[in-house]
A and B are shown apart, each in its own frame.
Chain A
Amino acid sequence: MTHRIGVVTFPGSLDDRDAQRAIRIAGAEPVALWHADHDLQGVDAIVLPGGFSYGDYLRAGAIAARAPIMTEVISAANAGMPVLGICNGFQMLTEAHLLPGGLIRNEKGNFIRRDQGLIVESTDTAWSNAFTQGQEIVIPLKNGEGGFIASNEELDRLEGEGRVVFRYSGVNPNGSMRDIAGISNAAGNVVGLMPHPEHAVEPGFGPDTADAMRSGTDGLGFFASALTALLAV
Chain B
Amino acid sequence: MPKSDLLDPQGKAVAGALGRLGHSTITDVRIGKRFELTVEGEVTEQILADVATLADEIFSNQVIEDVTSIRVEEAQA
**B13 and A109 within 8 A (CB):** yes
Contact partner of B63 (CB less than 8 A), chosen from A94, A109, A147, is: A94
Please indicate the chain A residues that have their CB under 8 angstroms from the CB of B9 in the complex: 105-109
| Chain A interface residues (CB < 8 Å from chain B) | 58-59, 62, 66, 94-95, 100-102, 104-109, 147, 149-151, 175
A94 to B61, CA, bound (A): 10
B10 at the interface (CB under 8 A from A): yes
**B7 and A104 within 8 A (CB):** yes
Please indicate the chain A residues that have their CB under 8 angstroms from the CB of B64 in the complex: 59, 102, 104, 149
**B63 and A102 within 8 A (CB):** yes
Please indicate the chain A residues that have their CB under 8 angstroms from the CB of B7 in the complex: 104, 107, 147, 175
Classify chain B's interface size.
10 to 19
Contact partner of A109 (CB less than 8 A), chosen from B2, B6, B10, is: B10
Nearest CB of chain A from residue B36's CB, rounded to whole Å: 14
Please indicate the chain B residues that have their CB under 8 angstroms from the CB of A59 in the complex: 61, 64
A188 to B57, CA, bound (A): 26
**A95 and B10 within 8 A (CB):** no
Contact partner of B61 (CB less than 8 A), chosen from A62, A105, A147, A151, is: A62
**B58 and A109 within 8 A (CB):** no
- Given contacts A94-B63, A102-B63, A104-B2, is CB(A62)–CB(B58) below 8 Å? yes
**B59 and A58 within 8 A (CB):** yes
